[in-house]
Structure 1
Amino acid sequence: MRMARIRISSTIMTLLIMVQTGFLLFMYARYNSFTPPSEEKSSQVHILILSSWRSGSSFVGQLFSQHPSVFYLMEPAWHVWVTMYQNSAKVLHMAVRDLVRSVFLCDMSVFDAYMPWKRNLSDLFQWAVSRALCSAPACDSFQRTEITSEMACKTLCGRYPFSKVEEACKTYSHVVIKEVRFFDLKVLYPLLTDPSLNLKIIHLVRDPRAVVKSREQSVKALARDNGIVLSTNGTKLEDSKYKVMQEICRSHVQIYETATLKPPSFLKDRYLLIRFEDLELLWLKVGRPGRGKADEV
């Protein structure tokens, strides 16, 4: 079978490399600037993309995922929420945090509580958007230097055993997780003070008007998550009155204020706020050559 691959223009590829390199260089600079004298630095770089639904986080996640040095997972805590959907987001914070920590440490046995059956790669939520799980050693059909289509990955890699997730994770220098299920930065304090992680956080926000418009196109898909956010005891909810958005906006403000207004010392150089609109502007300026300055605004 001939493997399908995506053809990407040299301009777009250059842009992706520029943004990837910029992110990674920034994280390296921050990473090296703060090393507590009594603690050893982790051999891996750990980055948490902290955001909310429909905020462009999948795009930002792919900027990391497509880098051959990055092991990336998209929202592994989905498994926690699906299994324990009758609880509130606040109650589930601890379980989500513990799962994220285990994933950062490449200990995938944490999924035993949420997927007790014999598993393949395809049992992991959104596994095929991770380039690391669509290439060796997770899947022998593709090499790390290749960019493949999600469909080709699902066709050729889905039946590989789940143990390949942990095996692959241990071979990468960077572990990046994208999550939309944290509403309080203080919940992450145990991870931020864990010397085995030396965790960095990218806090991605987006204009709430754009988020609302995007959410309106995914009402049914978000119904279960809405119920967990608003603590409806397992009842799915179509958020016609935007109560979920109010909670999301409140949490973003709280996270930002916690990280910037008299933050604890261990947060120094560990938090970065990014607006999705700024990334869009960068894409317009760099990704579409040959336009006048008026078109670049």
Structure 2
Amino acid sequence: MLRMKMLRKCRRNVFMFLIIIFIYIFFFFTRWNIIHKPISDTEFNSVGVNEYHNKGRSGHFTSVPAGRQSKINVILIASWRSGSSFTGQLFNMHQDIFYLFEPLRFLGQEKVKQDETTEVLEAMYKCDFENSLLSEWIKQTNIDVLHRVSSNALIELCPKEITQGADPGPCTRRIYKQCPDLTPENVTHACKKYPYKFFKVIKLTDIKFLEEVVVKHNVKIIHLVRDPRGIHFSRQNSYDVRYTVNNNLFGMYWTCRHVSEIVNLTDRGTKWLQGNYKRIRFEDLSMQPLQTSIQIYDFLKIPFTGKIKQWIVENTMKKNQTKTTKKKCNHKLNKKSSDVAHAWRLNSNLTTVLEIQNICTQAMQSLGYLKVNTEQELRDISLPVMLSRTEMEVQ
């Protein structure tokens, strides 16, 4: 009798233990599913702007205490008129990011002097703007106000009585010309307050020499690429004399060649780039701005904020209603991005498109851009001219 009671008790204990194990496994896989479920633009849009600044991808509220953020350095590389100004603003709007707009331009107008780039980047990532290497950068940034008004961190160094009521950005640069000159000391002090440094660079045609900077300073590379046909269309409308007068296809051969060289380097599995490089197509960012932006922030391990989400909604999902009689602002960002992605198809001629496709065959193939062969294919917007991310698996 005693043995039977002990046996029943043992069975109950085993049964309860199995139930507990089952419940634990159920909740474990449920939570795993939530954390790793991809977020669509529609799902993200349903989250309130004021709530999302503390919300992570898991759907649970998170926050990073002040002073606890990991120091992360980023360089965004892109070709001229690839959508880099728009992409850069996705990070300039982040309150914890020290963002600089084309800080290497003072090293060369056509392309940066790559033998000097490493030293300059190291000084900037260390916030050493009192370094003599950066004296020319300070000087040129004070002269060319575009580089100052494109960085919220530098705008903060201008007195509030000057900037109050003015929208920051290149289209209101006249107001910011009244700001006192930047100094090596105040830029250094400002830079050190930010845990993340993000520099947007164009005309950086080779990345092999960045290995030392990437390894020593925890630098992540975002490589922004764009359909060469879209780049050409954008350059045509940039009012750049070099492009509109001198040569109708100025630089397209070299643009595509340099992109192909970087793509080939990264696709070979170069060790120092593993986990430090991400390629983004401008068209993906334009068509799915929220989802793609979240993926970039996830890669960088920088918290995505409600302010970024709000900026995306206001600058990519609404048609620009601003009316002005002034000269067109070439850096205007508040456009409906889905309209921008393939606008070139309605505003270019087939002969030019075919020529670009011939020049840029290798780059287009490696990035998943599809050729058109007839006038009908060019104008039919329902006909895709690029592989989807699922088909292409863009890095």
On whether the aligned pair clears a TM of 0.5, the verdict is yes
Q: 1:186 to 1:147 in 2, by over 3 A?
A: farther
1:34 counterpart residue number: none
Instruction: Give 1:99's match in structure 2, choosing from 99, 120, 126.
Output: 120
Q: 1:213 to 1:199 in 2, by over 3 A?
A: same
Q: CA–CA distance in 2 between the matches of 1:68 and 1:239? A: 42
SS at match of 2:160: coil
Q: CA–CA distance in 1 between the matches of 2:206 and 2:135? A: 26
Letter aligned with residue 131 of structure 1: N
SS at match of 1:96: helix
1:73 counterpart residue number: 100
Instruction: Give 2:226's match in structure 1, choosing from 182, 203, 206.
Output: 206
Unaligned runs of 5+ in 1: 1-10, 24-41, 227-236, 290-294
Return the offset for 1:140: 4.6
Return the offset for 1:45: 0.8
1:242 counterpart residue number: 249
Q: CA–CA distance in 2 between the matches of 1:54 and 1:67? A: 23
Q: Do 2:152 and 2:168's aligned partners in 1 also have CA atoms closer than 8 Å?
A: no
- List per-residue Cα deviations over 1:230-259 (Å, max 9, x = no partner): xxxxxxx95525251111111111111111
Larger Rg: 2
1:139 and 2:158 matched: yes
Return the offset for 1:133: 1.1
Return the offset for 1:52: 0.9
Letter aligned with residue 272 of structure 2: F
Q: CA–CA distance in 1 between the matches of 2:283 and 2:56? A: 17
Q: How many residues align?
A: 231
SS at match of 1:279: helix
Q: Do 1:45 and 1:173's aligned partners in 2 also have CA atoms closer than 8 Å?
A: yes
Letter aligned with residue 53 of structure 1: W
Matches within 5 A, 1:152-167: 154-155=175-176, 158-163=179-184, 164-167=186-189
Letter aligned with residue 74 of structure 2: I
Instruction: Give 2:151's match in structure 1, choosing from 122, 130, 142.
Output: 130
Q: 1:152 to 1:81 in 2, by over 3 A?
A: closer
- List per-residue Cα deviations over 1:79-120 (Å, max 9, x = no partner): 1115xx7xxx47x111233322321221223222466x6x88
SS at match of 2:275: coil
Q: 1:147 to 1:114 in 2, by over 3 A?
A: closer
Letter aligned with residue 282 of structure 1: Q
Higher helix proportion, which one?
Answer: 2
SS at match of 1:262: coil
Q: 1:140 to 1:209 in 2, by over 3 A?
A: same
Q: 1:113 to 1:261 in 2, by over 3 A?
A: same
Instruction: Give 1:111's match in structure 2, choosing from 108, 131, 134.
Output: 134
Instruction: Give 2:84's match in structure 1, choosing from 57, 71, 76.
Output: 57
Q: 1:167 to 1:277 in 2, by over 3 A?
A: same
1:257 counterpart residue number: 264
Return the offset for 1:219: 5.0
Q: CA–CA distance in 2 between the matches of 1:153 and 1:106? A: 28
Q: 1:155 to 1:75 in 2, by over 3 A?
A: closer
Q: Do 2:219 and 2:276's aligned partners in 1 also have CA atoms closer than 8 Å?
A: yes
SS at match of 2:75: strand
Q: Which has the higher contact order (CA 8 A, sep 6+)?
A: 1
Q: 1:174 to 1:252 in 2, by over 3 A?
A: same
Q: 1:251 to 1:148 in 2, by over 3 A?
A: same
2:200 counterpart residue number: 178
SS at match of 1:126: helix
Q: Do 1:120 and 1:159's aligned partners in 2 also have CA atoms closer than 8 Å?
A: no
1:31 counterpart residue number: none
| Percent of matched pairs sharing the same residue | 28
Q: Do 1:128 and 1:154's aligned partners in 2 also have CA atoms closer than 8 Å?
A: no
Unaligned runs of 5+ in 2: 1-44, 58-68, 292-312, 319-338, 340-381, 383-395
Return the offset for 1:198: 0.8
Return the offset for 1:157: 6.7
Q: 1:157 to 1:258 in 2, by over 3 A?
A: farther
TM-score (norm 2): 0.50
Q: Do 1:184 and 1:251's aligned partners in 2 also have CA atoms closer than 8 Å?
A: yes
Q: Do 2:158 and 2:180's aligned partners in 1 also have CA atoms closer than 8 Å?
A: no
Instruction: Give 1:271's match in structure 2, choosing from 246, 255, 277.
Output: 277
Letter aligned with residue 269 of structure 2: K
Q: 1:153 to 1:190 in 2, by over 3 A?
A: farther
Superposition RMSD on alpha carbons, in Å?
A: 3.8
Q: 1:257 to 1:186 in 2, by over 3 A?
A: same
Q: CA–CA distance in 2 between the matches of 1:14 and 1:53? A: 35
